[in-house]
Amino acid sequence: MDIKLDKPLLTIAIPTYNRASYLDICLSHICGQLEKGDERVEVLISDNDSTDNTSEVINNYIHNSYAINYVRNREDIGADRNFLQCFNSATGKYVLILGDDDILLDGAVGKILDILEKDNYGVVNLRSYGFVNDFISERPKGCGYLKGYDEYNDLDSFLIKVNYFLTFVSVNVINKSLVNDNLNLERFLETNLVHLGWTFSALFNSNKNIYVKEYLVAAKLYNSGGYRLCHVFGVNNNKIFDIFVSEYQINKKFFEIINKKMLLSFFPANIIRSRMNIISVKDEKPYNILFPLYKRYLYFWVFTFPAIVLPKRMAFFLFSIVDVLRKLLQFFLSLVDYMRAKLFMAKVIK
């Protein structure tokens, strides 16, 4: 395919640091989906001065004629600055910052491009699943029938659907052309959530956003840590919300949707995982951090507070039951959605 464009349609930017083996797997799945001469996709890697064989891995792909823009920092500039460097260096209209340990599943690149070529979207949220060891065998069963995507013209419905997954950088394709020119992204550094600056800016400047219903990303679980979970996703998250409310006059109700979803499942699940030593986070006192932020939320008292104060094994058992029920409900709703789509197509064919 030989396509000449003024700039790429999509930049896949990968910030990396000392994870050569993961990066190799990540790149193999991206490069295997690229057609030579197709200038719609730019692959950019920002290496944070890795001391392992990261350079060797990247250069192997370059020597095999894969067009990769490789930027190697002279020193470790920190994760947030490396993410920001990826975004600023991207030349594509749309940007996907992909974790070096996450995987774009087979066919994902083509499906993303097909969507991006159809219209001007703010955020395209890609459905993902987590894996521990083998992303193929650990793929969720029973959802293979879900195809295509849903287009949202109102923010309420879109945020109800994607909510805190906006914080997961690897599943959000962002329209860089819709990010405010006067937005100082450096103010979001040192939050561990610098990407929310450009994500929210594009989201609130858009008329259309997309949720992709089929799995396109496999996300490596329990492979990061060392941060203060409640401080990052509680304190820092809400500071970013406040910036958009006070300075850009974004309705606070949109962030209320995200906060409620955080309290319903994100905080309970991850607080319990940290208590069970499943994930590694810095020591902190969740109640002292979250209470001032969420004391007026019923969801805090019903879902998050028990995860903090109950004996950890009891909390883990109760949350496991709730999680199973939640997944069953999600499966049922997905099945209903699928049946509606089939009925609609049957009517169209008639």
pLDDT of residue 2: 46
Residue 266 pLDDT exceeds 80: yes
pLDDT, tens digit (0-9, with 9 covering 90-100), for 179-206: 999 999 999 999 999 999 999 999 999 9
Residue 318 pLDDT exceeds 90: no
- Going by pLDDT thresholds of 50, 70 and 90, the confidence category of residue 279 is confident
pLDDT of residue 115: 98
Residue 345 pLDDT exceeds 70: no
- Plot region of 123 (φ>0 → left; ψ -120 to 50 → alpha; else → beta): beta
pLDDT, tens digit (0-9, with 9 covering 90-100), for 125-147: 999 999 999 999 999 886 666 78
pLDDT, tens digit (0-9, with 9 covering 90-100), for 228-259: 999 999 999 999 999 999 999 999 999 999 99
Residue corresponding to tokens 């719609």: 40
pLDDT, tens digit (0-9, with 9 covering 90-100), for 80-103: 999 999 999 999 999 999 999 999
pLDDT, tens digit (0-9, with 9 covering 90-100), for 25-75: 999 999 999 987 789 999 999 999 999 999 999 999 999 888 899 999 999
pLDDT, tens digit (0-9, with 9 covering 90-100), for 147-170: 899 999 999 999 999 999 999 999
- Contact (CB, 8 A) for 212 and 154: no
- Full-model pTM: 0.90
